[in-house]
Structure 1
């Protein structure tokens, strides 16, 4: 059996271990692509391979790459205080010391979500909690925030922080975030099947609600677009990861792609946990694995790549809210 057939056989085996209605696993190994499609719903594989999937928090890797790109162009600096870009008055030492670097590396000291979002999103918590939450509300919430600790002292995952970063990038460039991402990242990479808004019922994957078979509406990230709004086809996401494996092939973005592969933060016991401007990083003796997972109320995703082996893995699935499918763990194992 050839190496390619062995890899395809392995993909099929992993597919069978994932408990989700629809599952797509796409893999690139030194430029050779493979795909496995299945799921308990047993839907048409050709259709599933061409749908647009919500990738949730894995969208943050696009925002990190955009930040690296704008930094390379000299539009802004990683050490710039957030208050500069949002044109806010100074008023609290810890808040005013938060930089763009702190936001993308989750070291700002900000909570996971602004406090008022829980009240806002509670009526739609299992379907679309962010919908209708505006950038004005986001910035007002930040203006009233009083972080208890100095930025950079500890790591705490924050959708709030990355959403604020998106607002800062849009304000500074006088360009809506979706247009900015399209111009600087999606266009140069040729990702025509990637966007921050739904494509339509015939083109988008659909998940199911909490403890029900009813479908959930398309995810609306509201002011949190930079933290979780990207939806894309499996092929586009594989192209995205292949660009990270071979930065020199995408000349406009080469420097930014190299930047987001460099370790930016070390944390935990003996600094075992490392992060770049876009990716979680797990160092191994034979080469690091870079990855990010994400989820929306009805879908989940895993993106990962390993430069030392020339391997990229995209795993996408529809799901029933908060039902563990094993998708992320199985996909990660393909890289190890």
Structure 2
């Protein structure tokens, strides 16, 4: 790996002589002037060649990023947990069809669906029937939502859970499930998860600066908006606790491409396999399977309150990419278009979103209040609500669902009734009734189109 210890690249500093297809030129094309103000560290692997670099969207706010800069990788942690499962299966120490109740040391009964228990494979493939988060999940600090949630609380929530579908049949992305899988491996092996990952994954791959805790670069909830790290109980950390560096993640990517001859070789091959088809989509050891051109690639993204990340592995072409972001970009696909473009230059690269010119003098009071969101099937996510308030002279939005309350975020007025958060790809269009009262709204974020009704 040839990333220098410190790299400073911005829209003003990128070399004009850079090749059109170089990593840094692609970063510049995708990010120069983007409203998010994100800084990224990126890696591109093509066979034996590795290219790496860093880029900041805002030339007036360039942050130093290098090979050993540590980021929260969020839900990419799940792929590490999947590799751990694959290694235990390879050694005959774990059976994917084992009921999770046999692994967990608890006297409380676990939920079943018409007599069918949750198996390891069901948690691994997000087909357990468990919801995204426990119904009783309470957040004391929206900026650090998992802090303080304990294994004891998880076991109690798991015992009280009602499965929404038969295990193995329906795909529902579940952080609940991956916290349960993390704890099940701890109980099954008798070792803390941090020790398991260190001994089974990090050490064999030479990932010396990767762990479930420790310092990172500063994370951001938006342009210039610093935010705290997310903390997890270590034995639940397979859901999203891992913190790593571009250098370490490069070794991990190379291993998934097959450039590893150590003790993990067979487990790495297994970890990229499809296990089941659920809802007509392939599911495996946490990796997602995305169609790029005429082939499927492995991909997974991650997002916390101040970081986003995405990794792509194309075993057929022996290429891989990684983008680590010091700003939450989850609502804009975690720059998935960039990561996919790096492994296949025919994949469309999106344009950066420029800073919008704000409209002033708008009566914001008419928009204050709570709106429930709906899709074609009824209430969105059961109880998803957005609430608008005025802070200073700006309209702020705060979303909540299932007891999880997100931070308040400022919106930019781009017209009398349109407000946006460009770095999240979010647009709100308020709709007035004939009498002038604002009782409805249209909510747009990426491919998501919802309706809102005032409560």
Give TM-score, length-normalised by structure 2: 0.66
Q: For 2:333 and 2:161, how far apart are their aligned partners in 1?
A: 36
Structure 1 unaligned residues grouped into runs of 5+: none
Of 283, 300, 304, the residue aligned with 2:308 is 300
Q: For 2:99 and 2:334, how far apart are their aligned partners in 1?
A: 39
Contact 1:61 1:279 in 2 (8 A): yes
Matched, 1:329 2:345: no
Q: For 2:242 and 2:334, how far apart are their aligned partners in 1?
A: 22
Q: For 2:293 and 2:186, how far apart are their aligned partners in 1?
A: 40
2:299 alignment partner in structure 1: 291
Pair 1:111–1:178, CA change in 2 (3 A) = same
Deviation at 1:179, TM superposition (A): 0.7
Contact 1:290 1:305 in 2 (8 A): yes
Contact 1:107 1:154 in 2 (8 A): yes
Pair 1:28–1:97, CA change in 2 (3 A) = same
Give TM-score, length-normalised by structure 1: 0.87
Contact 1:71 1:78 in 2 (8 A): yes
Deviation at 1:307, TM superposition (A): 1.0
Greater radius of gyration (CA): 2
Deviation at 1:17, TM superposition (A): 7.5
Matched, 1:227 2:244: no
Alignment of 1:1-150 (within 5 A): 6-8=21-23, 9-16=25-32, 19-39=36-56, 40=58, 42-45=61-64, 47-89=65-107, 90=109, 92-94=111-113, 97-117=117-137, 119=138, 121=139, 123-125=140-142, 127-150=143-166
Deviation at 1:254, TM superposition (A): 1.1
Pair 1:284–1:208, CA change in 2 (3 A) = closer
Structure 1 residue ranges (4+ consecutive) displaced by more than 6 angstroms after TM superposition: none
Q: Which moved more, 1:291-300 or 1:315-324?
A: 315-324
Write out per-residue CA displacement over residues 96-115 of structure 1, whole angstroms, 9 at most, x where no aligned residue: 61011100100000000112
Q: For 1:109 and 1:220, how far apart are their aligned partners in 2?
A: 26
Alignment of 1:175-186 (within 5 A): 175-186=191-202
Pair 1:17–1:68, CA change in 2 (3 A) = farther
Contact 2:202 2:210 in 1 (8 A): yes
Aligned residues between the structures: 321
Deviation at 1:50, TM superposition (A): 2.4
Q: For 1:82 and 1:329, how far apart are their aligned partners in 2?
A: 36
Deviation at 1:185, TM superposition (A): 0.6
Q: Which moved more, 1:218-227 or 1:69-78?
A: 218-227
Higher strand share: 2
Write out per-residue CA displacement over residues 54-100 of structure 1, whole angstroms, 9 at most, x where no aligned residue: 01111100000000101111221111101011134546432861011
Instruction: Name the structure, 1 or 2, with higher relative contact order (CA <8 Å, separation 6+).
Output: 1
The secondary structure found in structure 2 opposite 1:290 is strand
Q: For 1:31 and 1:17, how far apart are their aligned partners in 2?
A: 33
Q: For 1:219 and 1:324, how far apart are their aligned partners in 2?
A: 20
